[in-house]
Amino acid sequence: MKTKHLYFLSFLIAANLGFAQDPRLQKLVESVFAIKSFDKQQDRHLAINDSLNNVNSFKAEFAYLNIIEEACIARSEQKLQAAIIVSKGNFFLETGNYFKGIEAFNRSAKIYSDLNEFAGLSVSHANIGNAYYFIQDLDKSRDYFNLAISDYKKIKVKKPREDIKLGNCYNSLGSIYCSEGDFVYGKTYFDLAYAIWIKQKDSLSVGYLYNNFALIFLAQNNMDSTLFYLNKALQLKLRHGDNFDKSDAYNALADYYYRDDKPETGVKYALKALGLLDTTVYGRHILLTYGNLTEGYNKLKDPKNELKYFKLLKIAGDSSEKRVQHSEIGRLELRHEFDKIHLADSIKAVEEIKVKDAKISEKKTQSYFLIFALLLTFIVLALIYSRFKLTRKQKRIIEEKNKEITDSINYAKKIQLSILPSEKYIEREISKLNKTKKG
């Protein structure tokens, strides 16, 4: 955490400078390359990137990602480049540019594929699955999570806790099926994730998975099973989570008891959640807690406390909304810059597509001609072969007829020879006649 705060302070100073030329950015990029181990390089990069992200410094973050990617290209650091592109893809997702995110993840996937780095390839495909989930293309999202699982299974040497990522993919698939109302398949994938996280002793992830199980039973109106899993989730979050995780568990129970028409118990849990939170920081958890308390006191017919927490909810909501609006303005400005930056690229891409289509059309024509020529050759050869077979058949018939005729002639000759007297007999009879005439 201290390292992250140092990066945060560095960029507060640089916030209004020209980010692309900011020497502080260059120094941070060099600090990444000063480390020799890839894993530690990646950790340093993520710490810097997270610091920029946490303060909504979108332009600085985007400039940093571009500079470090260019540095990776110059140094032929392909593996680190792919990791940087993954961060860039997540940046695009956060700024609402989902298709640019998918494009970035595909670029990282190409590099990882060329390097036979299946661990990185799995991460890239899982992130594409996330992107499609955000735009609610659940079929493509499911396909990419399955592809990420297939990539993961090709990893020859796995790091000690690498299969936690596999558990994340299974959990995501479970969420997809549950969002489609297929709770049988959803729970099947949740069970697969559960087995991995239990094996890795990732108790906090198991706690959140118990929340998923509870939601399945709640959708089926099975209140007993819902409460069972919410309590199991609470136990793990209390033991292994931070205050946000604990408040999340208490708020889930508060919501359950409101649904079960037990608002007193629900308010009790909502107050426990409030006791864990910093009320000066208007984040998601405090908004959820104030909302639960407002609802609970409404159900209890306690207008004084209901108004109290409604006012606090309104104050927190207004502050949060302003922050979100500021964040959204930054996002919109950045997206506008992306549109301008990539307009020329888009026009060029269209021209390239036209040229490519023309080449494809030409290749198709050539292919059709080749197929026609081959088909014609095949027909001619088939006719020649058929004619050859016919000629052989006719020749065989003629030979058989000739043989039959020859055999008939020979047979007739034998018959004639058997009927006619022999030459010696004829000569003897002629000799006798001659002697008779002389006498």
Query: Tens of pLDDT along 137-179?
Result: 999 999 999 999 999 999 998 888 889 999 999 999 999 999 9
Q: Of 162, 190, 161, 164, nearest to 175 (Cα)?
A: 190
Q: Of 322, 323, 331, nearest to 62 (Cα)?
A: 331
The answer to whether the predicted template modeling score (pTM) of the entire model surpasses 0.75 is no
CA distances from 72 to 27, 78, 106, 237, 434 (A): 15, 7, 18, 40, 131
Report yes or no: 370 and 378 within 8 Å, Cβ to Cβ.
no
Q: Which pLDDT score is estimated for 9?
A: 37
Q: Of 295, 216, 219, nearest to 251 (Cα)?
A: 295
% residues pLDDT > 90 (the chain) = 53
The dihedral of CA 141, 147, 150, 151: what is its sign? negative
pLDDT level of residue 337 (50, 70, 90 thresholds): low
pLDDT at 40 over 80: yes
The dihedral of CA 397, 401, 402, 406: what is its sign? positive
pLDDT level of residue 57 (50, 70, 90 thresholds): low
pLDDT level of residue 12 (50, 70, 90 thresholds): very low
pLDDT level of residue 310 (50, 70, 90 thresholds): very high
Q: Which pLDDT score is estimated for 247?
A: 96
pLDDT tens digits, one per residue of 402-419 = 777 777 777 766 666 666
pLDDT at 1 over 50: no
